């Protein structure tokens, strides 16, 4: 039993690195939460712009969404990370990375919201108009609730992608779970154990969110048009 | 701070950029093709009642891969497997292996969906003209399924191409790695990253444009 915690054993190395591993996990969770918060708040606004805004605004938004969705997240991260330094804005790698992935999440969320809103039959909007609701009234009381039901399953997929995307922060030096594991590897040379354990943690988090999404999808399956 | 634009640094790296682009496209295409074979096999296992014993391992493969970050998989395969005695893969080989396994899991879902959405009347008509089960599979099910999943294949090729950016983390000289190289060598940050972004965008939209035409040509008549 005692040999498990002798130097050279995986458990011993994990115990030695517990501080950095736990703070790495905290950074991963914090970055994922901030990215999803940015994506959700700005993305919903963006989706509304894509669907209802005046043409010039819609075009700008469309260009943004198409460019960001057509670029690898890693390139966006490096662009923001090195770009902010060049124009003299001093931000930490964490902030630069979260802004970059957050911007990516905004584009995906906006597209999901637009798709959900546009897939609602015209009759719903007409009916809401007929009972005298204004634009915001229609949005909040008639279209919004239906759009949420349609957007939620694909959006939860996006959320999982964002959690997976936080690993890219390690490439600009943010000590997230992956970089913490990497540091532990460079001391212990236990690459398989540490990356394997890291994989398990990410799979547990993402599978949890996916299962939640599947549950939501089943609960909403009764809605048919 | 003053910043002077100098696009020469990009032009001077044209050969490196071209090599990176071709390498990225090559890795993505290979992963798509071999991943499709894996995906088709897994999807057939999942839809076959005879192979029930294999359902669970295949489901595990798909769920684990789809819920793990590609970068962690890349590190696991590149740094972890040699430790377990599996050697002989350089960085490109190990990245391609990872991307292929990754693509295989996603393609399983694509093909499973494709198989499920074949209208029953196609197979019934096949049976009605006297095709055997095997003939029905090769001459009816497979061709119809490929037509149904063609748009997903396009999307997957594009997202795999974007995923090849992660190969730069293990020093594979593809586009992102080249951009970092230009960046570090010259400090012309904006030029390096803008040119690579434009390349990714143009190639992605070009793939989409060309393959959308192919899709229209083979659109399913339902």
Reference A162, options A125, A222, A126, A213; nearest CA is A213
Query: Taking CA atoms, what residue in A is nearest to B180?
Result: A78
Question: What pLDDT is recorded for position A54?
Answer: 85
In tens, the pLDDT along B194-211 reads 889 999 999 999 998 898
Q: Residue B89: pLDDT band by 50, 70, 90 thresholds?
A: confident
**Mean pLDDT score, B6-17:** 80
Q: Are B197 and A79 an interchain contact pair (Cβ–Cβ within 8 Å)? A: yes
Determine whether the interchain pair B80/A198 forms a contact, defined as Cβ–Cβ distance below 8 Å: no
| Per-residue pLDDT at B124 | 86
Percentage of chain A modeled with pLDDT above 70: 96
**pLDDT (mean) for B163-181:** 89
CB contact under 8 A, B76 and A182: no
Instruction: Judge contact between B187 and B2, C-beta under 8 A.
Output: no
pLDDT at residue A126 in the model:
87
Using a CB-CB distance cutoff of 8 angstroms, which residues of chain B are in contact with residue A198? 72, 76
Supply the ipTM of this predicted assembly.
0.87
Structural domain count, chain A: 1
Q: Do A191 and B169 touch (CB under 8 A)?
A: no
Report how far apart, in Å, the C-alpha atoms of B150 and of each of B27, B60, B146, B221 are.
20, 26, 6, 14
Residue B222 has pLDDT above 90, yes or no: no
Chain B residues interacting with chain A (CB cutoff of 8 angstroms): 1, 3, 63-64, 66-73, 75-76, 79-84, 162-163, 165-166, 168-169, 176, 179-180, 183, 189-190, 193-194, 196-197, 200-201, 204-205
Domains of chain B, earliest start first: 8-217 (1.10.3720.10)
Interface probe with B: pick from A154, A156, A188, A192, most Cβ of B within 10 Å:
A192
Give the closest-approach CA distance of A153 to chain B in angstroms: 15
Check CB contact of A146 with chain B, cutoff 8 Å. Answer: no
A44 assigned to some structural domain: yes
Q: Check whether B128 has a pLDDT greater than 60.
A: yes
Asked whether the predicted pLDDT for residue B158 surpasses 70, the reply is: yes
- Whether A224 is covered by a domain: the verdict is no
Range of the structural domain that residue A65 is part of:
2-219
B75, B95 Cβ separation under 8 angstroms? no
A83 touches chain B (CB under 8 A): yes
Q: Is the pLDDT of residue A121 over 70?
A: yes
pLDDT score, position B181: 86
pLDDT beyond 70 at B131: yes
Q: What is the mean pLDDT of chain B?
A: 87
Q: How far is Cα B62 from Cα B49, in angstroms, rounded to an integer?
A: 18
pLDDT score at B187: 78
Summarize pLDDT for A36-89 with one digit per residue, the tens.
Answer: 999 999 999 999 998 888 889 999 999 999 999 889 999 999 989 888 877 778
CATH of the domain at A200: 1.10.3720.10
Residue A2: the pLDDT is 57
Q: What is the band of A11 on the pLDDT scale with cuts at 50, 70, 90? A: confident
- Asked if residue A225 belongs to a domain, the reply is no
Buried b (16+ CB within 10 A) or exposed e, A89-124: eeeebbbbbbbbbbbbbbbbbbbbbbbbbeebeeee
Nearest to A198 by CA among A173, A181, A221, A216: A181
Q: Which of B69, B81, B206 to mutate to test the interface with A (most CBs of A within 10 A)?
A: B69
pLDDT (tens digit per residue) in A92-109: 899 999 999 999 999 999
Across the interface, whether the CB atoms of B201 and A70 are under 8 A apart is answered yes
């Amino acid at each position: 039993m005692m040999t498990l915690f002798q130097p050279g054993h995986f458990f011993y190395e994990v115990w030695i690195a517990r501080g950095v591993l736990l703070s790495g996990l905290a950074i991963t969770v914090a970055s994922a939460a901030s990215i999803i918060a940015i994506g959700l708040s700005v993305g919903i606004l963006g989706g509304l712009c894509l669907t209802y805004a005046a043409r010039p605004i819609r075009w700008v938004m469309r260009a943004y969404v198409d460019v960001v969705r057509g670029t690898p997240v890693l390139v966006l991260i490096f662009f923001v990370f090195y770009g902010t330094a060049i124009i003299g804005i001093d931000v930490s790698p964490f902030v630069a990375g979260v802004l970059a992935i957050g911007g990516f999440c905004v584009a995906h969320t906006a597209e999901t919201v637009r798709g959900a809103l546009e897939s609602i039959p015209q009759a719903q909007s007409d009916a809401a108009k007929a009972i005298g609701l204004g634009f915001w009234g229609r949005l909040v009381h008639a279209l919004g609730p239906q759009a949420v039901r349609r957007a939620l399953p694909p959006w939860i997929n996006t959320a999982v992608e964002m959690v997976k995307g936080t690993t890219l922060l390690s490439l600009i030096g943010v000590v997230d779970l992956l970089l913490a594991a990497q540091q532990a590897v460079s001391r212990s040379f236990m690459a398989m154990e540490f990356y394997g354990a890291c994989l398990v943690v990410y799979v547990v988090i993402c599978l949890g969110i996916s299962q939640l999404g599947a549950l939501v999808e089943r609960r909403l399956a009764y809605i048919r048009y | 701070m003053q910043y002077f634009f100098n696009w020469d640094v990009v032009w001077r790296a044209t050969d490196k950029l071209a090599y990176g682009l071709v390498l990225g496209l090559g890795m993505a295409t290979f992963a798509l093709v071999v991943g499709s074979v894996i995906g088709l096999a897994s999807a057939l296992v999942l839809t076959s009642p005879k192979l029930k014993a294999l359902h669970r391992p295949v489901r595990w493969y798909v769920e684990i891969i789809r819920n793990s970050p590609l970068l962690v998989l890349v590190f696991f395969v590149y740094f972890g497997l040699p430790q377990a005695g599996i050697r002989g893969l350089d960085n490109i080989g190990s990245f391609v292996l990872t991307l292929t396994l990754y693509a295989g899991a996603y393609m399983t879902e694509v093909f499973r969906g494709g198989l499920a959405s074949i209208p029953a009347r196609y197979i019934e008509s096949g049976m009605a003209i006297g095709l055997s089960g095997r003939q029905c599979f090769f001459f009816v099910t497979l061709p119809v399924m490929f037509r149904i999943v063609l748009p997903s294949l396009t999307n997957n090729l594009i997202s795999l191409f974007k995923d090849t950016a992660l190969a730069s983390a293990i020093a594979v000289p593809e586009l992102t790695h080249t951009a970092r190289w230009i960046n570090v060598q010259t400090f012309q940050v904006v030029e390096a990253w803008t040119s690579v972004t434009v390349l990714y965008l143009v190639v992605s939209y070009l793939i989409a444009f060309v393959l959308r035409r192919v899709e229209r040509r083979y659109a399913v008549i339902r």
